[in-house]
Amino acid sequence: MRRSTDGWWRVELPDIGANDEVRYGYLLDDDPTVLPDPRSPRQPDGVHARSARYTVDATRWTDERWTGRPLAGAVFYELHIGTFTPEGSFDAAIERLDHLVDLGVTVVELMPVNAFDGTHNWGYDGVLWYAVHEPYGGPDGLQRFVNACHARGLAVALDVVYNHLGPSGNYLPRFAPYLSADANTWGHGLNLDGPYSDPVRAFVIENALRWLRDFHLDALRLDAVHALVDHTATHLLAELAAEVERLATAVRRPLTLIAESDRNDPIVIAPRAAGGYGLHGQWNDDMHHAVHTAVSGERQGYYSDFGSLRALEHTLTHGFFHAGTYSSFRRRTHGRPLDTTVTPASALLAYTCDHDQIGNRALGDRPSAYLTDGQLAIKAALVLCSPYTPMLFMGEEWGARTPFQFFTSHTDPEVAAATAHGRVAEFAEHGWPGVEVPDPQDPATFHRSILDWDELEQPRHLRLLSCYRRLLALRRSRSELSDPWLAHVSVDYDEVERWIVVRRGALRLLCNLSEDEVKVPITGVSLLFWEAPTEGPSATTMPGHSFAVLEDR
């Protein structure tokens, strides 16, 4: 190879065709180790092995009539390909897509599928961002999955991780200064603003465009963007948003960028013309915390400021709970207010649980393990009747009893040991002292986390599933529930009696969060439907752990 004036090394090779048996790699300086291509499109033999050539076969696309889906009005469903089915593959997941259509989902959000070390992993330890994990079915499997989703009217979103790389198989620093000296939770961050950072930024942006363009994906969820350190005049996210907007014009369908941000900073979703980054949406952990603590009573760790109905009311009507207010967990002021006259509530994704809020519990236990069925239904109603874009986590719709635990399969023993030790230390710090944390490397931890679809044969699970279907059908049929403007939401509550009423136009959601029957002072309403563990509401007398949807007469 010869070095060019721009710093790149190049060599022209004869065409070797698309033979699957052909492998290639790089030798750097005097090191005899052959390294995979940093932009490898396929890794049939794992992330430490040589790369294979791959080009998406355009003749296999069957979604010519697909016109995409915008974020507003969407219902997301987050799933992990490896545990969504016992087979853990794209093809097996296709067999369950009709379940999602019947449920009322419109967007399937995949946890990361880029190449990582080992056979099973959450996906956030990816090291070869351009390759699709082979045990899931590789790039051909992803193409088949997208085709199948689009054929059913389902959009596909993909979780991508640009704030760090995994600890095993990360050879990027050997090739160029891809990493910065700054450290984040997972190690060194990317070099986004230092010397030679232009090609690093291009590495990220071109990867994002590849998923949207070459694999016909509709949206990207950007993991932990608060860990992206960028002091340039144009933040990486703003640059990415501009490039995605350009691509959306070319492919003639909406393309959506959704951030996970810990900062409660509206700049992420503010328009670029107003000085924002111009992303379309972001996850709203405050909504999760407000709903979860009000229903469950948990107050440990970062839940410490939540739990009251006042906190739930404020989050339902203002977007963020912490918005320039003191966070006792962080021991500082946190967040900024959201301008609800400019930013629609649909730009915030709300959820009763997600992979983090389950998997980052010490035991990975779902809410179904410690809440009543009535409490699960209340959480669903508060999210699905909220003004925010709702997101479900796989299995929650039937109250799945299988946990979702943190699992890895690192081939490096030192990395495996460090991962297990780090989990124990983390939970001790966050209010779970003395809990026996499952070993992420134990294959049993992974197998325990696989959904049990046979649960759908049990009446208890079918009843909750019916509740979710009815709530989502109501959200589709009543424009009041999809209205994205927070000014049109009002909330009444009684902190002592533990009831709350959320008003959306002519509709009212009435929830009794206590175990005891309560009488709520509401008149002039008729009952649309209710969910209660015992006999349903009489007028506005509510059994414990129940909800009702009412309509003004």
Domain chopping of the chain, boundaries: 489-552
Letter string b/e over residues 510-541, b meaning 16 or more CB atoms within 10 A of that residue's CB: bbbbbeeebebebeebeeeebbbeeeebeebe
Positive or negative: CA dihedral 279, 220, 388, 378: negative
| Residue 190: φ, ψ to 5° | -80, 150
Structure tokens at 121: 């992993």
DSSP annotation of 24 reads B
Distance CA 91, CA 97 (A): 10
* DSSP track, 214-253: HS---EEEETTGGG----SSS-HHHHHHHHHHHHHHHHTS
What tens digit of pLDDT does each residue of 57-107 get?
Answer: 999 999 999 999 999 999 999 999 999 999 999 999 999 999 999 999 999
Judge contact between 500 and 312, C-beta under 8 A.
yes
**Nearest CA among 40, 3, 38, 52 for reference residue 172:** 38
Which are the catalytic amino acids?
223, 260
Dihedral angle of Cα 303, 307, 309, 313, to the nearest 10 degrees: 0
CATH number for 489-552: choose from 1.10.3210.10, 3.40.50.2000, 3.40.50.300, 2.60.40.1180. Answer: 2.60.40.1180
Phi, psi of 502 (to 5 degrees): -110, 120
Tens digit of each residue's pLDDT (9 = 90 or more) over 131-146: 999 999 999 999 999 9
Beta bridge partners of 323: none
Is the CB of residue 491 less than 8 Å from the CB of residue 502? yes
In this prediction the pTM is 0.96
Are 157 and 107 contacting, i.e. CB atoms less than 8 angstroms apart?
Answer: yes
Distances from the Cα of 138 to the Cαs of 54, 322, 451, in angstroms? 10, 41, 22
Q: What is the pLDDT of residue 417?
A: 86
Average pLDDT over residues 338-359: 96
Mean pLDDT of 276-287: 98
For residues 359-394, one letter each, b for 16 or more C-beta atoms within 10 angstroms of the residue's C-beta and e for the rest, the string is bbbbebbbbbeebebbbbbbbbbbbbbbbbbbbbbb
Q: Is 420 helix (H, G, I), strand (E, B) or coil?
A: helix
Q: pLDDT for 228-243, tens place per residue?
A: 999 999 999 999 999 9
